[in-house]
Amino acid sequence: MTNQVGKTKPKRGVSLYSYAGEYGVTMSLEDMFAEMHDMGARGLEILANSHIEGYPNPSEEWLENWDRLIKKYDIVPVEYGHWVDSRLYQGRHLTPEESYEMLVRDFKLANRLGFTVLRTKLGVIDDELTPVENWREFIKLALPMAEKYNVRMCPEIHAPTLLKSKMVDDYVQLIEETGTKHFGLNIDFGVFTTKTIPASEWGPNEFIMPESDHSPVEDIIPLLPYVYCCHAKFVKMSDDFEEMTIPYETIINTLIEHNWDGYMVSEYEGPKKDVPGYAVEQVRKHHVMMKRILGE
């Protein structure tokens, strides 16, 4: 398929999670921004708890440096990863009011840093990753503040969850019931995983995602109106720039066909994150692939 010039298309970005094995040891925040700039990958995802020094109260000096770096490397702040840590205190769950406070604190900071989408990770109560029972309550409570601070809370739909599932239905129901533009979805492309790499490619201390059912790519289509950002999850790029586990060509072409123009932020979750330069090279290869499929 040849992609038409001028047509609305997904855009490229990077989740700094990809560089987790290097951050603080061999790469600084500026190094990661420089990488993005080299790749023409403008869309940025940070994790608040990882990448904001002094979180949740960064210094004025840090904020000024943030503004300088965003400008210098021509970065678009896209998605701000944060958590409602429901098991923050041992022995009990956060109340709706505590969860609300935790959300609003991040709305303000995300807004200050220029982000408009939040990857909002909710606490879970069981092995099926069912969200805490009071999630509707504190999310609804927070919607007016989300509007005020111009942010969209997006739970991440992540394997083993399927796109056709009660969890996704529940989230969509809340959106439709409230008509809100401030709650949506982040789809992690890991839900489309059709292959795995051999276990032998992983190191002894690395977490291997267990195999699970996957969703067909077309299941994303009805959800697209609610999808504000995607995690372009990947596990291994071959030397000829193919991803080995996820049907990228189908995914990206589906997004193009349906005029989805949000950011796909590369999220590397393969082996050897601790080997200096390895994840960096993998992300570069990932962008060579995405650029080719996008016809950039």
Partner 1 sequence: MLERPCIQSRGFKNVESHGKVIGFQVNIRSLYYRGLWLSQLRPATVTVDGETFSGDQITWTINDVTYTQAEMAELGDVHWGLLEPATLTVAKEGGLESGSHEIEVNYTYSCSYFPPVVDTILGGTHKRTLILV
Minimal distance, residue 3 CB to partner 1, in Å: 15
CB 36 within 8 A of CB 73: yes
Determine, following the binding rule CB under 5 A, whether residue 119 of this chain makes contact with Mn ion.
no
The residue within the footprint of partner 1, chosen from 55, 73, 202, 278 (CB under 8 A), is: 55
Determine, following the binding rule CB under 8 A, whether residue 90 of this chain makes contact with partner 1.
yes
Q: Is 105 helix (H, G, I), strand (E, B) or coil?
A: helix
**Per-residue CA distances from 82 to 19, 75, 161 (Å):** 17, 20, 19
Determine, following the binding rule CB under 8 A, whether residue 31 of this chain makes contact with partner 1.
yes
Phi, psi dihedrals of residue 27, rounded to the nearest 5°: -135, 140
The residue within the footprint of partner 1, chosen from 59, 68, 129, 176 (CB under 8 A), is: 129
Determine, following the binding rule CB under 8 A, whether residue 17 of this chain makes contact with partner 1.
yes
9 or 231: whose CB is closer to Mn ion?
Answer: 231
Active site residue: 37, 158, 214, 258, which one? 158
The residue within the footprint of partner 1, chosen from 9, 10, 23, 151 (CB under 8 A), is: 23
> Terminus-to-terminus CA distance in the chain, angstroms?
13
Q: Give me the half-sphere count of Cα atoms (radius 13 Å) on the Cβ side of residue 219.
A: 16
28 or 259: whose CB is closer to partner 1?
Answer: 28
Q: Which of 64, 7, 14 is nearest to 43 (CA)?
A: 14
Q: What binding mask, one character per residue, do residues 215-254 give for partner 1 by CB under 8 A, x or -?
A: ------------------------x-x-------------
Task: List binders of Mn ion among 171-190 (CB under 5 A).
Answer: 188
- Measured CA to CA, the distance from residue 30 to residue 3 in angstroms comes to 33
The residue within the footprint of partner 1, chosen from 63, 274, 278, 295 (CB under 8 A), is: 274
Q: How many CB atoms lie within 10 A of CB 255?
A: 25
**What amino acid occupies position 117?**
V
Minimal distance, residue 194 CB to Mn ion, in Å: 17
Kind plus residue range of the DSSP H or E element containing 66: helix 60-72
Q: Which long-range contacts (CB under 8 A, 24 or more apart) does 234-240 make?
A: 234/189, 234/266, 234/267, 234/268, 234/269, 234/270, 234/282, 234/286, 235/193, 235/196, 235/197, 235/269, 235/270, 236/197, 236/201, 236/270, 236/271, 236/282, 237/282, 237/285, 237/286, 237/289
Q: Of Mn ion, partner 1, none, which one does residue 119 interact with (CB within 5 to 8 Å by kind)?
A: none
Q: Is 49 helix (H, G, I), strand (E, B) or coil?
A: helix
Q: Of partner 1, Mn ion, none, which one does residue 163 interact with (CB within 5 to 8 Å by kind)?
A: none
Determine, following the binding rule CB under 8 A, whether residue 88 of this chain makes contact with partner 1.
yes
Q: Is 45 helix (H, G, I), strand (E, B) or coil?
A: strand
Minimal distance, residue 13 CB to Mn ion, in Å: 13
Determine, following the binding rule CB under 8 A, whether residue 59 of this chain makes contact with partner 1.
no
Q: How many CB atoms lie within 10 A of CB 210?
A: 8
Determine, following the binding rule CB under 8 A, whether residue 54 of this chain makes contact with partner 1.
yes
The residue within the footprint of partner 1, chosen from 117, 270, 285, 293 (CB under 8 A), is: 285
Q: What binding mask, one character per residue, do residues 225-244 give for Mn ion by CB under 5 A, x or -?
A: ------x-------------
Task: List binders of Mn ion among 261-280 (CB under 5 A).
Answer: 267
Determine, following the binding rule CB under 5 A, whether residue 45 of this chain makes contact with Mn ion.
no
What residues are labeled active site? Answer: 158
